[in-house]
Amino acid sequence: MFKKRGEIQKYRGFFAQRRELIATSTLIGTIVGAGMLGIPYAVAKAGLLYGLLLIIVMGGVFLFLNLMLGEIVLRTKEQHQLTGYAEKYLGPRGKRLMTLVMFLSLYGALTAYLLGEGFALHAIFKFGSPILYTGLFFFLTLGIVWRGIKSTGKAELYLIFLLLIVVAVIGFVSLNKIESHNLTWANPGSLFLPYGVIMFALLAFPAIPEMQEELGTKKKYFKKSIIIGSIIPVLLYLLFTFIVVGSIGQEKFSLLEPNQRIATIALSIYTYPLLGLFANLLAVLAMFTSFLSLSTALIEMYELDYHLSRLAGFVLTFALPLIIVLTNVTSFIAILGITGGIAGGLEGICLIQMYRGAKKRGNREPEYSLPSQRFLWIVLTLLFALGMIYELGIIFHFI
């Protein structure tokens, strides 16, 4: 289920012949994490049906972006993380901008995982304080990553299977708790609230280069793996959000403290405690593997693209998220929205420009090639820019 960093994973039997399944699981496992736990509250505030529609639309956008990044990777002989591809196709300034974007994206995600793990574990054990469990989780993952061990697609596959079972069970036992007045169309005053949270929940660009490693020589399956790996989380989010919002609703969510508005915690409070226990346990596992993947990706960025020592990359990766959590300057939902709206928007804009460069200057024939969509690129760039303006307005209180 886990492998040493830099070690070529060897699979036996079924998994040896189905590397595309492992690659798909890597993408799904990176996408599904803390973001899924924040979507229901944001959607409940904005209106359930509108929120579900927004998940579908943004899911389509990120499917397209993931395919674009996959083509960038395939058009490049050398192996990089996002900063390296930005330097190759956008130059030194592009690399610096992508570094800033990855800082915002990965550090925001790692901070959200630390916060989410603390509150989810506290909801399970019900003694001590959330910050105690955040500390325990931090030192556990610190030791694992220091040893160079990260989760593989096989580990993600098992967790995804468990996650689907738990969501199905939640849906089955919660059917009688879904109330019609929670199934609202839209709340005009909060229409933009879910945008950043949904963006965060779909971000998984650093996993795309890792998928190529998982596939090895079977790169012809890259496109298929990206498509399936991008669609399954959207379907999961739709089902999970409908169940949670339909059974809890905006009013009950609003009664909770900011860091209790995590979906699994709300389920444990307002529905069946045993169901909440299993949901929180699975949330802990899902965030755990995502934390390993993203912290490893950030360390690799420092090592591969900036040629820092492993110790320096390690300290830079782990210190900042811990400081943010300990200073208590933000809440779980807020960090999701800010990271998704600002970092996700910048990342999307950079990716579009990198893709245009890779089309012209790539040094390898790709296994697939998307048609040029200049109009769509312009629309997406405007969408991301507006999303960033909205999130900045929230931060500086002019919206």
Domains in the chain, please, with CATH?
Answer: 14-395 (1.20.1740.10)
Read off the pLDDT of each residue in 319-326 and give the average, rounded to a whole number. Answer: 91
More confident residue, 303 or 17: 303
pLDDT for the residue numbered 275: 76
The pLDDT mean for the chain works out to 85
Give mean pLDDT, residues 323-350: 88
pLDDT one-digit tens code per residue, 132-147: 999 999 998 888 888 7
| Rounded Cα–Cα distance for residues 51 and 46 (Å) | 7
What is residue 346's predicted lDDT score, i.e. its pLDDT?
A: 93
Percentages helix, strand, coil for the chain (3-state, rounded to 5) are 80, 0, 20
pLDDT of residue 148: 67
Q: Which pLDDT value is given to residue 154?
A: 61
The residue whose two tokens read 């089955």 is 172
pLDDT of residue 2: 41
Amino acid 3: pLDDT = 45
Closest CA to 145 of 9, 312, 295: 295
The pLDDT of residue 111 is above 80: yes
Consecutive H or E run containing 245: helix 222-254
**Percent of the chain with pLDDT strictly greater than 70:** 92
pLDDT at 235 over 90: yes
pLDDT at 5: 41
Name the least confident of 101-110, 163-172, 203-212: 163-172
Mean pLDDT over 8-12 rounds to 50
Q: 278 pLDDT exceeds 60? A: yes
Under 8 Å between Cβ of 146 and 314: yes
Q: What pLDDT shows up at residue 370?
A: 93
Beta strand segments in the chain, E: 2-4, 149-151
Please tell me what DSSP assigns to residue 178: -
User: Mind listing the pLDDT tens digit for each residue in 31-72?
Assistant: 887 788 899 999 999 999 999 999 999 999 999 999 999 999
Q: DSSP per residue over 23-82, as a string? A: HHHHHHHHHSSHHHHHHHHHHHHH-HHHHHHHHHHHHHHHHHHHHHHHHHHHT-SS---H
Confidence of residue 380 (pLDDT cuts 50, 70, 90): very high
Within 10 angstroms of residue 60's Cβ, the number of other Cβ atoms is: 13
List residues bridging with 3 in a β-sheet.
Answer: 150
pLDDT confidence of residue 274: 77
- DSSP 8-state secondary structure symbol assigned to residue 147: T
Residue 17: its pLDDT value, please? 55
Q: How far apart are CA 362 and CA 376, in angstroms?
A: 22
pLDDT at residue 4, rounded to an integer: 44
pLDDT at 101 over 80: yes
Q: Mean pLDDT over residues 18-23, rounded?
A: 80
